[in-house]
Amino acid sequence: MARIKDIARLRDVASPTVTVAVDRLRQVGLVQHEKSGYVTLTDEGLRLAKRLERRHNLLREFFQKILGVEEDIAETDACNIEHILNKASIDNLERFLEFAKEHEGDNGNWLAEYINRIK
């Protein structure tokens, strides 16, 4: 739960910008904007937020741990592409990261093993 002014401050944008965005989200059933000024997620909004958080975290982890990208860049890149990837790509990325963690200390050819596993 947050107020328009709090969201604006957090995102470093003007309050009217947030008001327009919140109204759009309200129209599609993702948030409720109460007369007291508080904005809350609906059940559908919460489901979508959790899905985006999962995507974001997987992408950030991939950029940092696999590609060696610095934290701030990984965070920005994850933010930029989390909305456009297909669910199948995210699911495969998650499997890849799990596989990489399982084989982290292996000296063998774990990447080739992974590629053979997904074929």
Instruction: Say if pTM beats, i.e. exceeds, 0.85.
Output: no
In CATH terms, 2-41 corresponds, of 3.30.70.2860, 1.10.730.10, 3.40.50.300, 1.10.10.10, to: 1.10.10.10
What is the model's pLDDT at position 36? 74
Architecture of domain 51-118: Orthogonal Bundle (1.10)
Mean pLDDT of all residues in 94-102: 88
**Average pLDDT of the chain to the nearest whole number:** 90
DSSP-assigned letter for residue 30: S
Q: How far apart are CA 52 and CA 60, in angstroms?
A: 12
20-78 confidence digits (pLDDT tens)? 999 999 999 999 998 778 999 999 999 999 999 999 999 999 999 888 899 999 999 99
For the chain, the structural domain boundaries read: 2-41, 51-118
* Residues 6 or more apart in contact with residue 7 via CB below 8 angstroms: 18, 22, 39
108 pLDDT tier (thresholds 50, 70, 90): low
Would you say residue 115 has pLDDT above 80?
A: no
89 pLDDT tier (thresholds 50, 70, 90): very high
Lowest mean pLDDT among 2-16, 43-57, 70-84, 101-115: 101-115
Q: How far apart are CA 47 and CA 63, in angstroms?
A: 25
